[in-house]
């Protein structure tokens, strides 16, 4: 259309990889805006005192854990077109929903007890590892798996994984900054339980959707 196919066909291998790399970067940078990630980041960041820098560190640790799973499961797909069995994929998606539920319940319990112990980056990393096993990242990996050159595909996978970590750190920092602002901070007592209940409802729906018990759009 509009000569686009002819233009792409005329590109050299280096130019083609530049396009592939740009797509991988864009996919990674927008990844944190998916609903399952937003639900996780709200409960992750809101469990601690509002602090943009701390929120960014937690988000980066979460994103690095997510990127670790992406690479672990993405490399076999890219190199060998080796996919996880359907039952394992379903279990991974269910685990993501259960994790969101547990994070929401933990946040509600902390608010009820008026206790805000800080979450450690290592804990956030572990949450990211679980999250990376399921969710919408698989769509990006499948797209990268269609690249015939394995070296380029692996490089694009690494870019994609790295940019997901960057986007999650940015999303967490932004959320932490918003929570620390005066108007929001003054309503924090009522805002946090509301976010927890929304995340709880989303996590339940996500888990049931993975089990095909309710309509599932991911």
Residue 215 lies inside a defined structural domain of this protein: no
Residue 27 lies inside a defined structural domain of this protein: no
Give the predicted TM-score (pTM) of the model. Answer: 0.79
pLDDT band at residue 188 using 50, 70 and 90 as cut-offs: low
Residue 151 lies inside a defined structural domain of this protein: yes
Cα 148 from Cα 212, distance rounded (Å) = 34
pLDDT digits (tens, 9 = 90+) for 114-155: 555 556 888 889 888 888 877 655 666 766 777 778 888 888
Residue 131 lies inside a defined structural domain of this protein: yes
Match 């993405």 to its residue by tokens. 74
User: Dihedral sign, CA of 107, 113, 114, 116?
Assistant: negative
Residue 52 lies inside a defined structural domain of this protein: yes
Confidence (pLDDT) at 162: 92
Residue 127 lies inside a defined structural domain of this protein: yes
pLDDT digits (tens, 9 = 90+) for 110-125: 766 555 555 688 888 9
Which residue range(s) make up the domain with 168? Answer: 33-209
Cα 65 from Cα 165, distance rounded (Å) = 8
Confidence (pLDDT) at 68: 92
Q: What is the DSSP letter of 211?
A: T
Residue 59 lies inside a defined structural domain of this protein: yes
Task: Please give the tally of structural domains in the chain.
Answer: 1
Residue 19 lies inside a defined structural domain of this protein: no
């Amino acid at each position: 259309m509009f000569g686009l196919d002819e233009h792409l066909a005329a590109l050299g291998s280096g130019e083609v990889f530049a396009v592939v790399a740009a797509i991988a970067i864009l996919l990674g940078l927008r990844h944190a805006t998916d609903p399952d990630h937003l639900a996780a980041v709200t409960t992750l960041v809101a469990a601690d005192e509002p602090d943009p820098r701390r929120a960014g560190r937690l988000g980066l640790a979460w994103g690095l854990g997510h990127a670790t799973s992406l690479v672990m499961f993405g490399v076999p797909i890219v190199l060998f077109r080796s996919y996880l069995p359907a039952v394992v994929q379903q279990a991974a998606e269910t685990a993501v929903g259960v994790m969101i539920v547990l994070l929401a319940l933990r946040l509600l319990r902390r608010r009820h007890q008026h206790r805000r112990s800080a979450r450690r980056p290592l804990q956030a990393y572990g949450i990211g590892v679980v999250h990376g096993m399921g969710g919408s990242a698989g769509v990006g990996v499948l797209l990268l798996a269609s690249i015939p050159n394995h070296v380029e595909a692996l490089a694009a996978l690494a870019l994609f994984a790295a940019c997901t970590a960057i986007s999650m750190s940015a999303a967490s920092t932004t959320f932490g900054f918003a929570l620390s602002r005066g108007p929001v901070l003054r309503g924090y007592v009522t805002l946090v339980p509301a976010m927890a209940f929304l995340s709880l409802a989303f996590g339940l729906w996500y888990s049931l959707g993975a089990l095909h018990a309710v309509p599932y759009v991911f």
